[in-house]
Amino acid sequence: MSEPSRRNCTIIFVGSLILTIISVYYFQSTLLTILCVIVQFCSYVWYVLSYIPYGRDIAGRMLKGLMPGRIQN
């Protein structure tokens, strides 16, 4: 978890986990809780993809392919 390539995902995941708990118990905001859970899920998936060879590269290319308005050559 502390490797340089995974450190950012770990920080984002732990931070969103803490913010999820705070938004549930302190703010009691459903929208903020859902947003934190989505960020938490995305950072976890990105972290898991770091263990698959070329996983992040493939996922990044797939996400770029889904972007609307992209010029096709």
Tens digits of per-residue pLDDT, 34-45? 999 999 999 999
Kindly report, residue by residue over 16-33, the tens digit of the pLDDT. 999 999 999 999 999 999
Residue 20 is assigned to a structural domain of this protein: yes
Tell me the pLDDT of the chain averaged across its residues: 88
* CB-CB contact of 13 with 47 (8 Å): yes
Residue 72 is assigned to a structural domain of this protein: no
Helix 30-49 vs helix 4-22: crossing angle, to nearest 10: 160
pTM (2 d.p.) = 0.77
| 60 — pLDDT class (breaks 50, 70, 90) | confident
Q: In total, how many domains does the chain have?
A: 1
Enter the tokens of residue 23.
């938004």
> Residue 41's domain spans which residues?
4-55
Question: CA Rg, the chain, in Å?
Answer: 15
Q: Which residues does 20 contact at the CB level (< 8 Å), separation at least 6?
A: 33, 36, 37, 40
